[in-house]
Amino acid sequence: MKCLKTALLGTVALVALAASASAQTRVLKYNADYDPIPLKAMEEIIADFEAANPDIDVQLTNFDHEGYKTAIRNFLTADAPDLANWYAGNRMAPFVNAGQFMDVSDVWEANGLKDSLGSALASMTIDGKQWGIPYTYYQWGIYYNRDAYKAAGVDAPGAGGMNWEQFLANCEKFKAAGIDCLTTGSKALWPVAGLFDYLSLRTNGYEWHMDLTAGKIAWTDESVRKVFAEFGKIAPFVTANHAAIDWQDAAALLVQGKAANYVMGNFAVGTFKEGGMTNDNLGFLVFPEITAGIPRAEEAPTDTIHIPAGAKNVDDAKKFLAFMASPEAQTKWNAAQGQLPVNKNASVNTDDPFLVAGFEMLSSAEGGIAQFFDRDAPAEMAKIGMEGFQQFMVQPDQLDAILERLEDARKRIYK
Amino acid sequence: MADVAVSLQERRPSWWRRNQRTLAPWLFLAPGLLMFLVYVVMPIIQSIWLSFYDWDGLGTATWIGTANYVELIDDRNFYISLKNNIIWLVLYMLAVPAGLFIAIFLNQTVFGIRVYKSMFFFPFVISQVVVGLMFSWFYAPNFGLYYQLYEWLTGTGFAPLADPDWVTYAIVAAGLWPQIAYCMILYLTGLNNVSPDQIEAARLDGAKGWRLLWHVILPQLRPATFIAIVVTVIGALRSFDLVSIMTDGGPFGSSRVLSFYMYEQALSEYGYRMGYGAAIAVILFLIMMVFISGFIWKMVGDERGS
Amino acid sequence: MFPRPIDRASPAVQIAYKIALPVALVIWLLPLLGVAITSVRPASDLAQGNYFGAPSTIAWRNYVDIFLNTPMASYIRNSFIVTIPTVIGAVALSCLAGFALAVYRFKANLLLFFMFVAGNFVPFQILMVPVRDLTVQTGLYNTYLGLILFHVAFQTGFCTLFMRNFIKALPFELIESARVEGVSEWNIFLRIVLPLMRPAIAALSVLVFTFIWNEYFWATVLTQGPAVQPVTAGLFSLNGQWIAQWHLVSAGSIVAAMPPVIMFFMMQKHFIAGLTLGASKG
């Protein structure tokens, strides 16, 4: 009897020991905002990381993409994880300036990232320090449905692309065929910013666009009106009711051939293909030239991972950043998601024609690379600006009032 | 000295007994009152105080006096929100007569009427989040039921949530759905308690239909009407969930209401202007206080009367 | 009875009424029916544009999917963890406070009563920033307790109004005679008044359960992420991931609405008694 008891106690002790051993794995909390496809890719990366570091347990909390933008401000101050997704450029400035992100220059230094991630160094640097790790970027441009072009009897864009007059002329033909020439879903506002950015970059060029988002140009200036004049030409051809449509619902319109073109980021390719499109009927077009002779600039936002200032497990968080900066991890994640790795030693998936096209387009963009309106402009200006773009598309006659409002906001926000 | 000590000694056991009735209410009240002071009364004062500051929620707050209120005067979005609040308030009141109408329609004793009453009340039990999602689907461009019905009737579809002029009306319609159910149940209970004798007497006098409703029934339904108006006014001014879920304030801010605009300014990605948000909240609070004071005025009268 | 009972009307009117009832109900519940049908529609129907026809098959799978592929179960659990303690806390505090305001005469009585009433009506936004700050500073942000404490405090306003009016309507002689017999105030509350409050407690519990279960604003202000967030906020967040997947949104909506609906049908009498307190005299 006593024997049994001792044996039992022994077992209990062993179990307890085993439990405490497993409790010694260190938890690494990671808050992210992935859509289903990239989420799967990131889960695989985390599995790789955990396999290489068996003593670290990465706990990923995934938010919905739009909700995350609000949530991050809450959790950074109130309940900080060890890692958090965010965006490069001006978009991270408020958190850096408020001391919410940790300086990770040492990770850059120790891993030679200033060389391998060199293309994104500028957009990750504030006050001479680096504040996070860029792991992916993606081009924007026009995605189109070849079947819709066929149905409307319009020639699909050739290798040389097309210019703005041709594009607008095609729109008339699509209209006659009952197909939306250009679709978008602006319920979450940002899709219209992509369209505006391209019109701005093509009308006045990169330097001007950067001055505009930096608050150096008055919104009531004649040069701004030039952009809106082009905007006004395309607005009538955009899908009706776009203000109540999510970008994914608009993607469905392109897939179904009810719309021909869509100004979008390359992350949408997964959604198009999930809807049934293939490399045969989905096409990619560099945004047409508007003002001849302006060096071509493109839009390619960079997504990043940061360590919040309130992180508890900083050492392992830095390990994870270094891992995510490596060419292997960036190759793998970007191949799964269909985006471009930032690390120059990572390889671009050459089986993916959209990636190849994007990579070529970006590496030959002599004008410059913009992040995105809501990353180049301060958050508050971005919100007011995007509301203005959306309103202009619905109520073009309100242009004067809109520009005046944006100008008032500019004077207040860039002090 | 000794005498006093003795008398104290004697009184001691009776002190609690003597003061029990004075102290007891405070002891009973203490936990609830404490919670209420900490989470409701204090925050109201703090918010009013905060509305005179510029604060991003992270750094230190700076006193800016009435600058937030001055800015509100020129803020177009503030007026859009205010206008939408008035639309909410006016149209939401339709829930009261509509609820009365359905209650009268259902106040019968046919077989299965209890089930019908429950089913008509159903929308009120559902969360506004679910109501908002349901109506988003209902109004959705291209495939929404409403859109399709409209297209079938007129030839072209109409997506009210994409239309800056109609969006608020469309959201109010979604909000009316549960609110009518609420008013209906109030009136059903009220109708249940209308004195049958008076109705019969009025009928003998030849009153029927509208005249009977207006002169005999409605006066007796006054308590139900009062509560229906109170909950409807408060519900209209509190409207937040549906705006947040159905449009997020859009298109381009056309469906904002004060409660949503405040949240947007104070806590959304683009905002974090706590002081400015607080100033909006104070305005909303003052508007609400006009109504609350009215209700309390009436309740005080009732208290005195009873 | 008003209106005149239908069985005294002509047979034609009676038949018309009996047809009008189900027709009106279907129109009234049209959005709900649409969502219910969509919730069992297979994804392939939506892709092919079959939004309103009969579903090609009944896809119970949608319900399985939302539990397997999303934190739905966790959201539902969180809702229970937040709702049940709130109900207990708010009802308990308001029994005490309502008793105090109903039974004792003291100077601040009416003032306090109306403070509870008024507090019950204030816009949430005037509380938002300070309550959020307080919750963050006490380390209760994104915890069940943080949300529960606020809900208990706020609901106490409404519940106290309710309890106070209920106790006022009880026969005061009971309390008087107990006092004459020397029963302590606490025992008067516990042994005489509390047992009589059972119907009020039942009614309030059902009401508060529904209010808190359906609450959305504070859930988004004081919590985030699937670990703690209740189902209302969770559903909205899932909606952001399920765009264009209306069959999942619909199934999720139905699941989220279920507990208060079941509660309502089980406790209908109490629910309506609570909601309509004061809607009729006597």
ipTM of the complex: 0.91
The CA distance from C221 to the nearest CA of chain A, in Å, is: 9
The first and second tokens of residue C213, run together, are 């279960």
pLDDT tens profile C168-193: 988 989 899 998 998 988 999 999 99
- Cβ-Cβ contacts under 8 Å, A95 against chain B: none
> CA nearest A342: which of A333, A353, A351?
A333
Contact: A64, C240; criterion CB under 8 Å: yes
Tell me the torsion sign for CA atoms A175, A177, A179, A181.
Answer: negative
Whole-model pTM: value is 0.89
* Strands (DSSP E) found in A119-273: 125-126, 129-130, 133-137, 140-145, 180-183, 259-265
Out of A36, A63, A75, the one facing C237 most closely (by C-beta) is A63
- pLDDT, position B1: 42
Out of B141, B157, B270, the one facing A379 most closely (by C-beta) is B270
Contact: A242, B164; criterion CB under 8 Å: no
Largest separation between any pair of C-alpha atoms in chain B: 102
- pLDDT, position B13: 58
- Is the per-residue pLDDT at A149 higher than 70? yes
The CA distance from B287 to the nearest CA of chain A, in Å, is: 27
- Cβ-Cβ contacts under 8 Å, A100 against chain B: 58
Provide the chain B residues 243-302 that lie in CB contact (below 8 A) with chain A.
247-248, 250-253, 267-272
For A96, phi then psi, to 5°, come to -65, -45
Find how far residue A381's CA is from the centre of its chain.
Answer: 18
- Is the per-residue pLDDT at B154 higher than 70? yes
- Is the per-residue pLDDT at A104 higher than 50? yes
pLDDT tens profile B262-275: 999 998 777 678 99
Average pLDDT in the A291-313 region?
93
Q: Tell me what the pLDDT averaged over chain B comes to.
A: 89
- Is the per-residue pLDDT at A3 higher than 60? no
The CA distance from A257 to the nearest CA of chain C, in Å, is: 13
Chain A's closest residue to C44, CA to CA, is A275
Contact: B270, A383; criterion CB under 8 Å: yes
pLDDT tens profile B47-65: 999 999 999 877 788 999 9
Q: Tell me what the pLDDT averaged over chain C comes to.
A: 89
- Cβ-Cβ contacts under 8 Å, B149 against chain C: none
- Cβ-Cβ contacts under 8 Å, C227 against chain A: 61
Average pLDDT in the B289-299 region?
91
Mutate to test the interface with C, among B28, B115, B289 (most CBs of C within 10 A): B28
- Cβ-Cβ contacts under 8 Å, A36 against chain C: 241
- The residue type found at A249 is D
Cβ of B193 under 8 Å from any chain C Cβ?
Answer: yes
- Is the per-residue pLDDT at B3 higher than 50? no
CA distances to B80, B135, B159, B260, B261 from B84, rounded to whole Å, are 6, 19, 19, 11, 11
> In what side-by-side order are the strands of the sheet with A282-285?
A180-183, A259-265, A140-145, A282-285
- Cβ-Cβ contacts under 8 Å, A411 against chain B: none
Contact: C226, A65; criterion CB under 8 Å: no
- Cβ-Cβ contacts under 8 Å, A79 against chain C: 141-142, 224
- Cβ-Cβ contacts under 8 Å, A274 against chain C: none
Contact: C141, A36; criterion CB under 8 Å: no
Mutate to test the interface with C, among A27, A43, A79 (most CBs of C within 10 A): A79
- pLDDT, position C279: 67
- pLDDT, position B205: 86
Say how far apart CA A341 and CA A135 lie, in whole Å. Answer: 6
